[in-house]
């Protein structure tokens, strides 16, 4: 079978409008953000996000994930017992609840981010949640993949974040932090349930500067985070 | 409750005997090595190994694991579904089989390493397998802790090795490689069973030079391994 063509690269984020006179900048554009467990119907969006992440990391040649291979491997274990994905959605209007996304293992969490300017998302239709069939304005803006780990020095289980990605036009809005926080809160929640007393998260993210003018500099580097919740 | 005192640091490995004349060096000292799933009765040895690893990594102040905390957290999931420990044992005589260690999820694997000189293990009694109650000469020489991970770029699950440690006097005998290989083979085995087609292991180990004269040099560094089994 011929390999499927990779999804299109991300459209460049448009420049912020510069014809808005100072002093009259509209304020209070609400952006509704929701984090929920990934669902098999999210695979086409997760696939595109992974390929955008590969472009971002300049590792496109190493990215061979397909929708079929993701579908057959991503949902083999109950949430949190093995690798797990949270999907980040955003919407200009409040989210419409839908049973499909109300997994009892993780009720979705929502937050309203007040922006100075509305976001122009050139790929909104491409990332419309569930293909738009559930109605509403929501689209997928990012994801985080994590799995249980264990610190031998602390004798405590925790979560290890393998990938975290937010689409370019939604960056610098606190949404990546919201994804991190959701994983941390889940670790604490599992800890408070007696799973492990107190939990530790050991996170390692690969970051790159947004500028491509990194000649002579490292363009990838690792950063470790340790979030410890002591009870 | 007062914190339990950490286990004693490792005894320095004795120098190799230098009074053996060249040409008369005895050859063919067999060392029997076995890798098996950790059992709750191994916790005292795992505890000591973790603290020796902390000494090796100069992170003793961060190592607060106790036998009690390890016992309550290490065996909460079936093998390979979450974090899993393989224990490495060595013996001067062939291993005595024991039902306790014959976990159907992972039949132990054994190997004979032929050494030029016998190993003088100053901590043999401290690490005697199961306190010696099962008879035999076996003692615990190392361990590896790993857990399932997932490569989004390849859409494949695999194993991530968090810790690998071999006691000082047993290093440079191929036993660390044997532990690595055991995890790789288990990944391949799970892949051939239809779990994930082909599997990938992404390993990250923290290494230190054996010499302490690292002034002016990095004394810790990370090395990544990627073992890919394509079918």
Q: What is the pLDDT of residue A216?
A: 28
Q: What is the pLDDT of residue A19?
A: 42
Q: Do A65 and B147 touch (CB under 8 A)?
A: no
User: Alpha-carbon distance B51 to B49, whole Å?
Assistant: 5
CATH of the domain at A40: 3.40.630.30
Q: What is the pLDDT of residue B25?
A: 44
Q: Do B147 and A152 touch (CB under 8 A)?
A: no
Q: What is the pLDDT of residue A131?
A: 56
**Does residue A163 lie within any of the structural domains?**
yes
Burial track A18-57 (b if 16+ CB lie within 10 A, e otherwise): eeeeeeeeeeeeebbbbbbbbbeebbbbbbbbbbbbbebb
**Does residue A148 lie within any of the structural domains?**
yes
Q: What is the pLDDT of residue B158?
A: 84
pLDDT digits (tens, 9 = 90+) for B23-33: 444 458 999 99
**Percentage of residues in chain A with pLDDT exceeding 90?**
46
Yes or no: say if B142 and B166 are a contact pair by the CB < 8 Å rule.
yes
A133 against A82, higher pLDDT: A82
**Does residue A200 lie within any of the structural domains?**
yes
Yes or no: say if A6 and B155 are a contact pair by the CB < 8 Å rule.
no
Q: Which of B53, B65, B154 sits opposite A155 (nearest CB)?
A: B65
Q: Do A81 and B76 touch (CB under 8 A)?
A: no
Residues 6+ apart with CB under 8 A from B53: A152, B163, B165
A85 against B2, higher pLDDT: A85
Q: Do A59 and B196 touch (CB under 8 A)?
A: no
pLDDT digits (tens, 9 = 90+) for A124-148: 999 998 755 566 789 999 999 998 8
Helix or strand run (H / E) with residue A204: strand A200-207
A2-9: average pLDDT = 64
| Torsion sign across C-alpha atoms B97, B132, A151, A57 | negative
Q: What is the pLDDT of residue A39?
A: 92
- Two tokens, residue A44: 């086409």
Q: What is the ipTM of this complex?
A: 0.75
Residues 6+ apart with CB under 8 A from B55: B9, B10
Q: What is the pLDDT of residue B176?
A: 94
Q: What number of residues does chain A have?
A: 231
**Does residue B215 lie within any of the structural domains?**
yes
Q: What is the pLDDT of residue A56?
A: 92
Residue spans of chain B under pLDDT 70: 1-5, 13-27, 131-135, 191-231
- What DSSP state is assigned to residue A212? S
Which residues of A make CB contacts under 8 Å with B? 50, 53-54, 59, 62-66, 69-70, 72-74, 76-77, 81-83, 145, 147-150, 152-157, 160, 162-163, 195-197, 222
Q: What is the pLDDT of residue A23?
A: 44
pLDDT digits (tens, 9 = 90+) for B132-170: 555 678 999 999 999 888 889 988 888 888 899 999 999
Domain holding B72, by residue range, is 29-228
Yes or no: say if B166 and B127 are a contact pair by the CB < 8 Å rule.
no
A150 against A24, higher pLDDT: A150
Closest CA to B161 of B204, B200, B199, B198: B204
Q: How many domains does the structure of chain B reveal? A: 1
Q: Do A154 and B65 touch (CB under 8 A)?
A: yes
Q: Where are the beta strands (DSSP E) in B19-108?
A: 29-37, 84-91
**Does residue B105 lie within any of the structural domains?**
yes
A86: confidence class by pLDDT, cuts 50, 70, 90: very high
Chains A & B: contacts with CB separation below 8 Å:
109
Q: Which of A159-173, A179-193, B138-152 has the lowest mean pLDDT?
A: A179-193
A149: confidence class by pLDDT, cuts 50, 70, 90: confident
Q: Is the pTM of this model over 0.80?
A: no
CA distance A133 to chain B (A): 26
Q: What is the pLDDT of residue B134?
A: 59
A172 against B19, higher pLDDT: A172
Max CA distance (Å), chain A: 58
Q: Which of A153, A156, A228 to mutate to test the interface with B (most CBs of B within 10 A)?
A: A153
B192 against A93, higher pLDDT: A93
**Does residue B3 lie within any of the structural domains?**
no
**Does residue A13 lie within any of the structural domains?**
no
**Does residue B123 lie within any of the structural domains?**
yes
């Amino acid at each position: 079978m011929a390999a499927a063509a990779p999804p299109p690269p991300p459209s460049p984020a448009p420049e912020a409008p510069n014809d808005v006179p100072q002093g009259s900048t509209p304020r209070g554009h609400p952006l509704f953000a929701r984090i929920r467990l990934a669902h098999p119907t999210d695979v086409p969006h997760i696939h595109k996000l992974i390929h955008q992440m590969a472009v971002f990391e300049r590792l496109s040649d190493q990215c061979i994930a397909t929708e079929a291979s993701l579908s057959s491997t991503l949902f083999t274990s109950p949430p949190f017992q093995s690798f797990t994905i949270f999907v980040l959605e955003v919407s200009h209007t409040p989210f419409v609840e839908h049973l499909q996304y109300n997994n009892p293992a993780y009720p979705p969490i929502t937050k309203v981010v007040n922006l100075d300017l509305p976001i122009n998302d050139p790929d909104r239709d491409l990332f419309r949640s569930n293909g738009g069939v559930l109605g509403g304005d929501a689209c997928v803006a990012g994801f985080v993949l994590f799995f249980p780990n264990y610190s031998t020095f602390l004798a405590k289980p925790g979560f290890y974040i393998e990938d975290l990605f937010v689409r370019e036009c939604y960056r610098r809005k606190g949404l990546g932090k919201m994804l991190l926080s959701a994983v941390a809160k889940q670790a604490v929640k599992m800890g408070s349930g007696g799973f492990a007393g107190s939990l530790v998260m050991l996170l390692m993210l690969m970051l790159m500067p947004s500028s491509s003018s990194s000649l002579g500099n490292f363009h990838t580097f690792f950063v470790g985070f340790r979030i410890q919740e002591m009870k």
